Structure 1
Amino acid sequence: MDSPTPKRRLSCPDRESAKALRSSLILQPKGGSPLLMLSLEKDGCRVYNPADDTVYETKSDLSGYRFVASSGKWFLVIDSRMKLYIIDVFGEEERIDLPGLETFKGSHFKIERVGEDKIRHVAFRTLSRTDPSTAEDVRGRLWVEDKKGGDFVVLWLFERSNYIAFCKKGDDHYREISTRDGVLGELRGVNDMLLKGYDLYIFATRGFVRHLDLSPRHDGFIDVSEKHSFPRWLPPLSRDEMERINKYKIISCIESIAVVTSSGQVLIVVTYELTSKDRVFHLYKRDPQVLYPTTYDTMFVEVHSLGDEALFLDLGITVPADHTLGIEPNSIYFTRGDRIRHRQTSSLDICVFSLTTKTVKRYPCLDASNIKDAQWFLPS
């Protein structure tokens, strides 16, 4: 990234323990460097670069958006009127307008607007209506092809709804992925989901993984889930960790999923927040040597190392480590665990966890800032 000219300083109460933050126009960063999109309580949005411990302004005013998901330099955002867009955070007003939420075509209900900033669901058979939802209730995922004019896939859902809505480039409406009707019992519901290209992985509420192919060669999508998926139970923790849990009591236990890009292996990631400064992570994969051909049962084995890769939980993927880009090997980049399914006990915790040393690195000046939300992203 070129050295920008300071414009004005952001307030940082903890100036003695952290570098002063500079606010300036953000230029195109080095491709692949990890950055943080910060949503501030009162001062709009900023981008934080850990490499120089600096907060930058964006070229465009993005204060009216809530950031839902990202893919490279592109973000899926929603405004207060519940309108979705894809924006280039480094571009000058570069924005892709998406179909309105009310264009959703479902099998059991439709979406109608309530004023300018709320929507609700109306059942086709009974005409019953749900309580209104706002932009804060929308969760989603995004994938944008890494070339100019490339394809994209957008996913969104409301937490207690029985569907995921999706569209691709060129669509004028959203189609339905049912998460209940017509779905096997063990694959129903959504605890978390990730999108890698046209592959959608849904971590169902019973702990199994559903795999859907959304590629253009299919009319909509097809289910390519494996018969042997993750069971609901997890292996026991070590005696030392059990003692720590009993001592501190768990603030929160969060489960999510990720895809290790080198092999396409789906992992279960479990993090325990023991105190506000103490967090541990465990990675698990299915044991390919222990499969039962007539049942869904399988065994778990713990993954103790990601090797020369780093896991970005906001994106649900791993990428090769690269010291020149500031990507630390065998590490987990974390902000919060309820990116898809809201949990009252989850809280913002911007950190990098080393699987090698079992230690957490945080950013003191960001802790002192008035940050409402944050997401790691990897601009291409």
Structure 2
Amino acid sequence: MQRSTTLKRRLSCTDLESAKAMRSTLIQWPRAGSPLLMLSAEKDGCRSNSVYNPADDRVDETKSDLSGYRFLGSSGKWFLVVDSQLKLYIIDVFSEGRIDLPPLESLKGSLYKIERVGENKVRNILFSDLSPGDPHTAEDLRGRLWVGHNKEDYVVVWHFEMNDFLGFCKKGDDHYREILTRTDVRRELRGVKDMVLKGYSLYVLAIRDFVRHLDLSGHGEDGIKDVSENHKLPMWMPSLSMDEQVRVNIDKITSSSESIAVTRSGQVLVVYSYELGNSQRDRMFHLYKRDPKDLDPNTYLTRLLEVHSLGDEALFLDLGTTVPADHTRGIEPNSIYFTRGDRIRHRNPSRPDICVFNLTTKTIKHRHTLSNFNVKDAQWFLPS
């Protein structure tokens, strides 16, 4: 059976339920490690998810039914997802593989507990005053995922935006543990603007622009070790060059974002992106790193240095990590793969901007084919 290379229509919720038996198992997916896009669309209150393959410019449905899931983060072919009833799973998007995760109400910690409010909402409660917070839905949940080789281990980290804790679990856990982000945390490391999960290392960009580094590999009820640098001041980005200032003055910035990424060698990068208000949806990126001389905790000034090249690597911002470039797999060197700048922390309503930015030429490639689809969200991923 030959599947059409485009999606002719959006399926209704009833259609989606009856379509499970009709899904093709003959789709030829690209080589392991080739970049794909998970696309999410919504129509009439019904969410549908599909996979876009840039190599042949087509959108396909997967073998398993992915309708109704929100995709929070990925690791290889595995995605951390949440359904409308706020149940978390790790799913293999190319098979029927699924790992059921503990319920959110299983959170164990010193300050907070979570209770369910009906089928589709939960709320967190501070033990000290037992006053409930505002109810959360699946749309409020953010998350990161790491899955080891052959699923020998995995780590899940999630949080509700504007809340003062993270929840995390590892393989074998029957509950989530609490990571406090304000109480009992050094002032400069409080809050969450962005986070990257690389193995057992969790990097958190704090509200004051310090980077918090947590080691989640420990055992026991806590299992958390703070290994953050003890630097004095936050990481200040240098001013834009004169050429950039002229360009910004001409075209008003309509949106901007600040996030972090971690290179293969473990170096933390600050990623600044802004969109200019014109018909071309022009977007620019700047990468920064700490000056090695400023890593001494006694250093007073901690200005960042701009990184003009990633060399033979590419940065996937949805993953927060760099990977080796590989033309045979369609991974372009010295490039940034982008979908949106508010993956973890939503400050203003935004829309996906699916593109690849080349740091050498300062040029950007958009996927114009996808403009025909009502894409609500998208994420780059690298199946392995």
Same-fold call, TM > 0.5? yes
CA contact (8 A) 1:308 1:329 kept: yes
Equivalent residue number for residue 194 of structure 1: 196
Q: Which amino acid aligns with 2:127?
A: F
Partner of 1:246: 249
Q: Is contact 1:254–1:271 with CA below 8 Å preserved after alignment?
A: yes
| 1:374 match | 378
Point out the more displaced range, 161-170 or 219-228.
219-228
What is the 5 A alignment of 1:164-243?
Answer: 164-216=166-218, 219-228=222-231, 231-243=234-246
Aligned twin of 1:86: 90
The residue that corresponds to 2:307 in the other structure is 303
Residues in 2 aligned to 1:127 and 1:215: alpha-carbon distance in whole angstroms: 31
Matched with 1:162 is 164
C-alpha displacement at 1:288, in angstroms?
A: 0.4
Give the secondary structure class of the aligned counterpart of 1:140. Answer: strand
Q: Which moved more, 1:133-142 or 1:215-224?
A: 215-224
- RMSD over aligned CA atoms reads 1.8
Structure 1 range deviating more: 248-257 or 316-325: 248-257
> Which one-letter code corresponds to 2:248 in the other structure?
I
* Identical pairs, percent: 66
Structure 2 residue aligned with 1:347? 351
**Aligned equivalents of 1:230, 1:27: Cα separation in 2:** 51
For 2:78, the equivalent position in structure 1 comes to: 74
Instruction: Check 1:211–1:252 CA distance in 2 against 1; reply closer, same or farther (3 A cut).
Output: same
* Pairing partner for 2:332 from 321, 328, 335: 328
Mean Cα deviation higher: 75-84 or 36-45: 36-45
Aligned partners of 2:99 and 2:345: how far apart in 1?
26
Which structure carries more helix by proportion?
2
Q: State the alpha-carbon separation in 1 of the partners of residues 192 and 319 from structure 2.
A: 16
Whether the 8 Å CA contact 1:27–1:90 is kept in 2: the answer is no
Aligned to 1:19: none
CA 1:292–1:113: 2 relative to 1, 3 Å: same
Letter paired with 1:61? D
In the other structure, the counterpart of 2:18 is none
Q: What do the CA deviations read for 1:331-375 (whole angstroms, capped 9, x no partner)?
A: 000000111101215321000000011011011110221111100
Change (3 A) 1:291 1:109: closer
2: CA distance, partners of 1:73 / 1:322: 18
- Following superposition, the deviation at residue 9 of structure 1 comes to 4.1
For 2:353 and 2:338, locate their aligned partners in 1 and report how far apart those are by CA, in whole Å: 7
Matched residue count: 364
Shift of 1:106: 2.4
Shift of 1:125: 2.3
Contact map agreement 1:227 1:296 (CA 8 A) in 2? no
Distance of 2:219 and 2:108 partners within structure 1: 21
Flag the 1:291–1:165 CA change in 2: closer, same or farther, 3 A.
closer
SS at match of 1:367: helix
Matched, 1:61 2:62: no
Under a length normalisation based on structure 1, what TM-score does the superposition of the two structures give? 0.92
Letter in 1 for 2:40: S
In 2, are the aligned partners of 1:228 and 1:297 still within 8 Å (CA)? Answer: no
Provide the rounded CA distance (Å) in 2 between the counterparts of 1:353 and 1:81: 37
Match for 2:90: what amino acid?
A: I
Structure 1 residue 27, shift from structure 2 partner: 4.0
Question: What is the distance in 1 between the residues matched to 2:330 and 2:281?
Answer: 23
Counterpart of 1:294, as a letter, is: N
TM-score, length-scaled by structure 2: 0.91
Give a deviation string over 1:124-169, Cα, whole Å, max 9, x none: 222211111100000000000021x410000000011101100000
Instruction: Work out the CA distance in 2 between the residues paired with 1:125 and 1:319.
Output: 45
Q: CA deviation at 1:123?
A: 2.2
Matched, 1:37 2:38: yes
Report deviation, 1:291.
4.7
The correspondence of residues 118-133 of structure 1 with structure 2, limited to 5 A, is 118-133=121-136
Cα distance 1:315–1:229, how it changes in 2: closer, same or farther (>3 A)? farther
- Unpaired segments ≥5 residues, structure 1: 13-22
Matched with 1:98 is 101
Q: Could you say which residue in structure 1 is the equivalent of 2:141?
A: 138
The aligned counterpart of 2:15 is none
User: What is the CA–CA distance in structure 1 between the aligned matches of 2:294 and 2:126, rounded to whole Å?
Assistant: 44
Q: What letter is aligned with 1:60?
A: S
**Aligned match of 2:20:** none
Q: What letter is aligned with 1:253?
A: S
> Is residue 209–residue 229 contact of structure 1 (8 Å, CA) maintained in 2?
no
Are the structure 2 counterparts of residues 283 and 8 from structure 1 closer, same or farther at C-alpha, using a change threshold of 3 Å?
closer
**Stretches of structure 2 lacking an aligned partner (at least 5 in a row):** 10-22
Shift of 1:292: 5.0
* Alignment CA distance shift 1:122-1:59 (3 Å): same
Report the Cα offset of residue 110 of structure 1: 1.1
| Segment drifting more, 215-224 vs 111-120 | 215-224
1:251 alignment partner, SS class: strand
1:10 aligns with 2:1: no
Q: Is the 8 A contact 1:287 1:299 kept in 2?
A: yes
Report the secondary structure of 1:173's partner residue. Answer: coil
- Further displaced range: 283-292 or 215-224: 215-224
Q: Distance in 2 between matches of 1:297 and 1:172?
A: 45
For the Cα contact (< 8 Å) 1:166–1:176, is it kept in 2? Answer: yes
8 Å contact from structure 1 (residues 251, 345) kept in 2: no
Separation of aligned partners in 2, 1:187 and 1:315: 22
